[in-house]
Structure 1
Amino acid sequence: MYYKTIYPSPLGIITMASDGDNLTGLWIEGQKYHGGTIFEDMAENKDMPIFDTVKKWLDRYFAGENPLISELPLAPAGSDFRKEVWHILCEIPYGEVITYGGIAKKMAAKMNKESMSSQAVGGAVGHNPISIIIPCHRVVGSNGSLTGYAGGIHTKIKLLELEGVDMSRFFVPSKGTAL
């Protein structure tokens, strides 16, 4: 059984999902793949300890603090490859970014391969079911493009600015999948 509740954030309504013990999803209203990893109906239940914990974490995050990801019990559903990419996302320091190619190099090393497709990494990043907390917004194109955020480029920019990232080296692409 899965449960859900909402959290009114500065970015709009956020939907959270849980298996009762762990956070299994967190989506910004209008986000691509919203609820895409939960294949059962979710019962509304705002009175769960996990949701209280996540709401407090989000309150701190949106107040400009740097709460640790490790404070939360996360259980995103996905393939082993995607879970490994999401683990790398959790290692990106607050206020910093990495490129899709940088993640691809890390994945290649983990898998004992010479190289890894940045597009495969991009697919895993884009399907991250726990937005904001698993910080997929911290991934940028190697040329400085702010492409590839399922919550939309404007949301990605707001999150990076909240974290104090110097945005002067980045640009919004004129076309792309996440515009």
Structure 2
Amino acid sequence: MDRMWRFLVVLREDLEAARRRDPAARSLVEVALGYPGVHALWAYRVTHRMWREPGLRLAARLLSQATRAATGIEIHPGAQIGRRLFIDHGMGIVIGETAVVGDDVVLFHGATLGGRSMRRGKRHPTLGDNVVVGAGAKILGPVWIGDGAQIGANAVVVKDVPAHAVAVGVPAVIRTRSVASPAVDLVEDPAIYI
């Protein structure tokens, strides 16, 4: 019973994170019924539990692919995702098998947390807490994105990004922002910090 209660708390946090971060969200009911990012995240939470059981891995992959077909968001069941992830719009998002996503992260549509090699082992990025990844951004390989970092729209990141920095361009160039910059919850355009 305690396990179920904790699971329901996490689902509620997912709803509240979307409502808090999206100014267009009017109610938790609207978010629960009409946000594909939330649907994909909830399906991921189920498939990730299945993935931890070797006999359920095929079923987990099949369910994750059905979710991808329904939402346009592909999250591998083996990825590790923290709490309160918000996927805005979501279409085209890819999160690879060895990706690690911290708490309170925002991913905009078209973002990819992908690999650069076909070898086994850690091949996808690790995102710290409070990271914002802009629309169309690609973070490739086993790179580290520090807490509070922002990745600009359409950036291609192939090197580590320090905490509280902004990465923009192709390939991404690291910019720093002042300590007095606004909180990540505001999700402002990273270009203003350059």
TM-score range, shorter chain: under 0.3
Q: Which structure is richer in relative contact order (CA contacts within 8 A, separation 6 or more)?
A: 1
Length-normalised TM-score, structure 1 = 0.28
Length-normalised TM-score, structure 2 = 0.26
